Structure 1
């Protein structure tokens, strides 16, 4: 088996040092702008240069995240950032925006493109699109099964898989919850993680969107056998100690799997990882077909720690704890109140180290309410922290050869498996009184101070010379410093930079005042068509035994909008049904769907393909779309900053925004179900505990509606905003543009009434509804 790359996070220099010490093969890091972790410390230009030199010396790949969506007015700043990346000589850039990818292809042709998980690629056809576009690697969506991973590997594109760390509950790049809940867009690196907050589902309180962290350690042999190129550890916002522990453990696992001696994690190894961070045990996620309650922990969204005991007695300032695990001075403990995680009590144990089975005394703040019987967990282990600090990166092994011959120029050769450097010094003299002995020369050459090298052997060629120690010192320093500089340069990526000008556009677009009606309701769709509107049928059931019947009700003028998440199996079922129904028009809803065979179809770009800048639009033009939907995170002024005179635009003037795509079912999670999703029939049978007519309600009373898309694997759940976005008051701003009306939860009659409102200009029905203008006015951060 080929050994995959172990890719580690580097949120700052401490994280970088931890990753290198733990044995990573590559690191990914963010810059001061355009990264999906804006709250991480990240790297400025000087720090990036220093980090590049360190990684180059240790032959560790270094990838920069430029994986946010870029607005038109940010293009010049983006070019400055990319110029810095090229100057430093990074190995690849991880991107989400196809406009950014287009710039890199044109201006930096040998800078490798890695497709961020934010592109939501989850199929082999999506991988084909990326490969044809010019991407070298895809970072797969976390929702991929092992079967899908294998299919992607077979396309020939490098395949990167998240192996450990946080799991986004929504398909990455398709989450608008933070955006619509508070104006902080995950697509812009500013996610506020509202998914980790408490919600109410079916009158039950819990964190129904808070996922357990992924741990795929025990699945390493299967992933390696599948041919995965890179195994990624999530955690640019985590502490260096976390990076050290997790990366070091996965280093051992990968090496042992390749060498045929792999063993699953034992209890101590799993506890050591969990001690650094866990959210109530781990999940093997979708790679190992985890489901529902196996994905979600509704009771804890922050670090759960390790259970270590129970409160025996309480006092005003002191409590006694019976411990079930060893406890050390400085350990961070937490007393669980049983109310909620915000009410838990954090303390630091200060006292003698104690063995399990004993009783310890701990101080609490006066007035803290602690009761006997409360459970105690350890959040941080002082001894573990100290052990991890002792983990040091391995220095580079070198061979040194000194050639010191009378009346010849002195030379020192420093060599490793990749480079050799030769330093030349003064001419060696014939000895008059004192000969420079070989022992003295070796002693001198072993003086490496804090240089990151380890001398394997020293070979001395000398015929007995005299050389001042100061001259030998200088020659040694020149040799070692020159070797380090040459090795850094050897592994540095020399980036070609072409001339590339970006012209600022004017507000020009191809005019086409066409209305598009997206709905699953065929009766309402027929009414829309009778008024000259293009009906875009939205299938909610693509099971093989059902989809042909639904599509058979459509006429040739209809479009079918593809579900955003559509794996290879279900794409094959749906595309066959579309062909059988003689439908010629398809609206795409994921950029990867351009990898499908669309040669006989008219295509349109749907609302969930984000194109925020003119360069992205120009990249999209080559696929000849009939219309491009305006992405919902652009405000009107930002939209006016982009143009494409060859493609008409359509803006959604009515409809609820889809905020999330969920691969777990809140109904099944609330029932505590771990398995059986493939054969679930609760919704089809209309059971009261099913997802039908249910919502997730947040702490301020916003009720997010849920609906399922059925397929032959299991259902995908979509979560929608509590209010519909309606731009009827701004309708005159969109003259010459297409309009999209998207109905989801409305009855047939309500849909017809909404259509008539836009046909007649009488918006009284919309004025009577509680609606929002979304991001039309303010946009997002």
Structure 2
């Protein structure tokens, strides 16, 4: 590809794939039936994958297959067969999330391109640099990264940068959202997200016990859809190569419309009616935002009024006839029979399909803007209410026409020789590929009418239904010969089939005997489990030191120096390990490393791939959010000299048991609030109409409450980023002995906002549980704690 960009389109079905290709996509991304992060899209069977690759490659479109879920140990044999299948049938790249999968493909298929999924949570240039060092060819940037981040990455790395430019947004950092998983067992990291971000929530001040009604709506975690059409050239100039459109769950008409709009916008020397294109795109939208990419935040980022498609403004209600169930509308845009309309209110959204459309008492198929019409509408509405169109029947029909047939035109040249006494020979070329048809047909002398140049040209030029357009033809024809036209047609068909085949086969690949999968069979060993502790502030640290803690993780790096000084004054001889937050910027990574040197700290707890290089020279521990769920990923970190690895909280006990882990190298989060969302967004300031750095979270504590009256804490982190914590605390106290016997060596107590007394209680219970020194009263206390909102998380259930 010679262009400096690529339009990358989603294909959740074969029809969506055709819509993308016929409207100008340079590449598509899709999934087989397994290992894709959109489990509920139609997706492709193995045979459909073969056909998809053939269809796309004939038309110069690349195919990237998502293998971007976390993979459990027992699935690896199936995964290896699947990767080998994808390799043989000629996919252009695979998109991965799991570090174990990435490492396996890199070592086994050196000539297969690897794209790092957005699920790998890339947030910094350091993340990109590290992944590039592993041999990947492309990195999909997290949606939190900005134009400035792209410019810096383009200067400092050589890997291709893929950037989301249009479609639905996740409010949480992709790959770091456990909310669906923890609430209902449907893991986003396994392709089954239930989208809890699109549900209603109420902001609650836990200190003052006050609920706040939002005038903007109650969908506090629901972002608008990304839209960069008018800024797309800026995105390319910044260094983005692949312009990614979200939407594998969307209908083919959506794919066609969005791809066409961005293609038109990027075609040179063509005047583009941007408002008209934007109106077309608005038939599929939750409201539009330019996102973090172009630094929109707060209410500009969020669609708090409704999480559904908003369509565009249609007009107003003039009156409503309740007896006839008819709404009279004054139109600001055209309305068609079978369109869908909607009225939005503070507490509800009502709507329906226009099954009967009337103008001046006559049933019509269409009412132009400016007219007053009547529509059937079963919901009572009021004069003056605004009406929106959320489905446009006429537009959908026009959209379907763009991919119902073949619209592409690849220029080709044909040469044919029809000579007396010799076999007919023909060739077809696209300028790069040439094919020849050497027939056994010998022309006969014409008895009545001889075949002419025009006859031959007309038959060979019938390329309709194929993606080819005849640009040039050369016919070497002796006069006075007769050839049946059906033979010329057969020659044309054979040439097209041969050229199709030649264009479709881009690679000559054979099955590679899968190498050892990287799993190491170790003798299961157990040693006494050791407690580690995580403190959020200096006072919590002081309490843990008082209680005799020896390994303490520390969250707030802005108060780290004060924490270390406080520890020294208390004669602390243990280890303080800074926790490097996953959204830390490139510049602050440099600043923090300098601070650690100054404080003579030698170990860090890392949450992102870029932290590995950024803190080179220090001992590193992998935090749980690096999503380690299998032996290959686990061994990757051990081979890269990690001091220890924290396992994913999505694993259950049997899955941990199936892993070959080493106690000295293995940690688990055993107590405390688990972050289920990590956001570059503040729910508090947006809901209360404040601005960044408003400081409200420093004055009081806040949470969001769902429809089940469950309360999820909001915790302020680095630079007004926030974590949403699970409504229930994780407590694996009663699994301590079992985890120890399965090879877990470290058990972390994660303190967030607990008081010193609460910390002492929790630490005391865990220390006494192991040697069975708990009194009957303390056993009752554990039972009481469990009833106040504790959970064993996935340890007893896991992810499917």
TM-score range, shorter chain: over 0.9
Matched, 1:142 2:143: yes
Instruction: Indicate how the Cα distance of structure 1 residues 528 and 372 shifts in structure 2: closer, same or farther if over 3 A, else same.
Output: same
Residues 612 and 404 of structure 1: CA distance in aligned 2, closer, same or farther (over 3 Å): same
Q: CA deviation at 1:552?
A: 4.5
What corresponds to 2:794 in structure 1?
A: 775
The separation in 2 between residues aligned to 1:775 and 1:703, in whole angstroms, is 19
| Partner of residue 101, structure 2 | 100
Partner of 2:636: 619
- Corresponding residue to 2:236 among 186, 206, 224: 224
Aligned position for 2:294:
288
In structure 2, stretches of 5+ residues that fail to align are 205-210, 358-362, 569-573
Q: Give CA-to-partner distance per residue, 1:45-68, whole Å, 9 cap, x none.
A: 011110000000001010001111
**Conserved? CA contact 2:730–2:791, under 8 Å:** yes
- Please tell me whether the aligned partners of residues 33 and 43 of structure 2 are also in contact (alpha carbons under 8 angstroms): yes
What is the deviation of 1:17?
Answer: 0.9
Query: CA separation in 1, counterparts of 2:757 and 2:551?
Result: 16
User: Which string of whole-angstrom CA distances, capped at 9 and with x for unpartnered residues, describes residues 589-646 of structure 1?
Assistant: 22342232422x1111112111111111121112211221121000000111111448
Per the TM alignment, residue 507 of structure 1 is displaced from its structure 2 partner at its CA by: 7.4
Deviation at 1:669, TM superposition (A): 0.7
The structure-2 alpha-carbon separation of the partners of 1:451 and 1:661, relative to structure 1 and needing over 3 Å to count, comes to: same
2:535 maps to which residue? Answer: 519
Q: Distance in 2 between matches of 1:509 and 1:112?
A: 38
Kindly provide the CA deviation profile for residues 441-464 of structure 1, in whole angstroms up to 9, marking residues without a partner as x.
112212335233211121111233
Question: Match of 1:237?
Answer: 249
Q: Aligned partners of 1:470, 1:709: CA distance in 2, in Å? A: 74
Identify if the C-alpha distance between structure 1 residues 348 and 595 changes in structure 2 by more than 3 Å, giving closer, same or farther.
Answer: farther
Instruction: Note closer, same or farther for the CA distance 1:349–1:116 as it changes in structure 2 (3 Å cut).
Output: farther
Equivalent in the alignment of 2:725: 720
Tell me which residue corresponds to 2:341: 333
Change beyond 3 A, Cα 1:469–1:288:
closer
Aligned ranges for residues 620-769 of structure 1 at < 5 Å? Answer: 620-645=637-662, 648-673=665-690, 676-677=691-692, 680-684=694-698, 686=699, 692-710=700-718, 714-735=719-740, 737-761=745-769, 762=774, 764=779, 765-769=781-785
Matched residues in 2 for 1:479 and 1:125: separation?
51
- Equivalents in 1 of 2:528, 2:482: separation in Å? 89
* 2:124 and 2:586 in contact (8 A); partners too: yes
CA contact (8 A) 1:654 1:726 kept: yes
Take 1:218 and 1:671, find their aligned partners in 2: how far apart are those partners?
Answer: 30
For the structure 1 residues 564 and 493, does the alpha-carbon distance in structure 2 shift closer, same or farther, using more than 3 Å as the test? farther
CA contact (8 A) 2:524 2:661 kept: yes
Residues 97-125 of structure 1 deviation map (CA, whole Å, 9 limit, x = unaligned):
01111221122221111000001011111
Query: Displacement of 1:200 after TM fit?
Result: 0.5
- In the other structure, the counterpart of 2:360 is none
- Indicate the residue corresponding to 2:393 in structure 1: 382
Residue among 611, 622, 625 paired with 1:605: 622
Deviations along 1:223-262, one digit per CA (max 9) or x if unpaired, are: 1111211010000111111111111111122234xx6x78
**Counterpart Cα distance in 2 of 1:517 and 1:347:** 61
5 Å-filtered alignment, 1:266-345, equals 266-275=274-283, 277-279=284-286, 281-315=287-321, 316=323, 317-341=325-349, 343-344=350-351
In structure 2, the residue matched to 1:3 is 4
Q: Matches of 1:429 and 1:347 in 2, distance apart?
A: 63
| Contact 1:426-1:471 at 8 Å conserved across structures | no
1:463-478 to 2 correspondences below 5 Å: 463-464=478-479, 465-478=481-494
Tell me, in whole angstroms, the C-alpha distance in 2 between the residues paired with 1:573 and 1:331.
Answer: 57
What's the CA shift for 1:127? 0.7
Q: Deviations over 1:411-451 (max 9, x none)?
A: 11111132111111125346364543212211221233523
Closer, same or farther: CA 629–718 of 1 in aligned 2, 3 Å:
same
Tell me the residue number matched to 1:197: 199
| Counterpart in the other structure of 1:458 | 473
How many Å separate the matches in 2 of 1:420 and 1:586? 59
User: Residue 541 of structure 2: SS of its match in structure 1?
Assistant: helix
TM-score (norm 1): 0.92
**Which whole-Å CA distance do the structure 2 matches of 1:62 and 1:485 have between them?**
16
- In the TM superposition, residue 530 of structure 1 has moved relative to its aligned partner by 6.2
Residue 552 and residue 214 in structure 1: after superposition, are their counterparts in 2 closer, same or farther (change >3 A)? farther
CA distance in 2, matches of 1:407, 1:581: 93
Q: Give RMSD over aligned pairs.
A: 2.3
Deviation for aligned residue 1:659? 0.5
Residue 689 of structure 1 aligns with which residue? none
Structure 1 100/488 Cα, relative in aligned 2: closer, same or farther at 3 Å? same
Decide which moves more: 303-312 or 765-774: 765-774
- SS of the residue 2:445 aligns to: coil
Choose which of 400, 403, 409 in structure 1 pairs with 2:414: 400
Which residues in structure 2 correspond to 1:251-262 (within 5 Å)? Answer: 251-256=263-268
- 1:697-751 deviations in Å (ceiling 9; x for gaps): 00001100011113xxx31111101111101112211225211111112112211
Structure 1 residue matching 2:181: 3-state secondary structure: helix
Distance 1:253 1:516, change over 3 A: same
Once residues 212 and 378 of structure 1 are traced to their aligned partners in structure 2, the CA distance between those partners, rounded to angstroms, is 17
Aligned counterpart, 2:590: 572
Is 2:684–2:696's contact at 8 Å kept on the other side of the alignment? no
Q: Could you say if the C-alpha distance between residues 728 and 647 of structure 1 is closer, same or farther in structure 2, counting changes exceeding 3 Å?
A: closer
| Pairwise CA distance, 1:521 | 3.3
Question: Residue 330 of structure 1 contacts residue 382 of structure 1 at CA under 8 Å; is this kept in 2?
Answer: yes
For 1:253 and 1:282, locate their aligned partners in 2 and report how far apart those are by CA, in whole Å: 17
C-alpha distance in structure 2 between counterparts of 1:475 and 1:159, whole Å: 44
Q: Distance in 2 between matches of 1:645 and 1:731?
A: 16
Alignment match, 1:360: 373
Q: 1:497 to 1:18 in 2, by over 3 A?
A: same
Query: Which sits farther off after the overlay, 418-427 or 578-587?
Result: 418-427
Shift of 1:550: 4.2
User: What is the distance in 2 between the residues matched to 1:492 and 1:364?
Assistant: 57
Residue of structure 1 in register with 2:384 after alignment: 373
* Distance in 2 between residues matched to 1:294 and 1:569, nearest whole Å: 27
Q: CA deviation at 1:547?
A: 5.1
- Relative distance call for 1:450 and 1:509 in structure 2 (3 A) is farther
| 8 A contact 1:634–1:780 mirrored in 2 | yes
Q: 1:158 aligns with which of 128, 150, 160?
A: 160
2:177 maps to 175
| Aligned equivalents of 1:427, 1:269: Cα separation in 2 | 53
Distance in 2 of aligned mates of 1:278 and 1:159: 26
2:80–2:514 contact (8 Å) kept in structure 1:
no
Q: 3-state SS of the aligned residue for 2:667?
A: strand
TM-score of the pair, normalised by structure 2: 0.90
Answering whether residue 420 of structure 2 is matched by residue 418 of structure 1, we say: no
1:210 aligns with 2:227: no
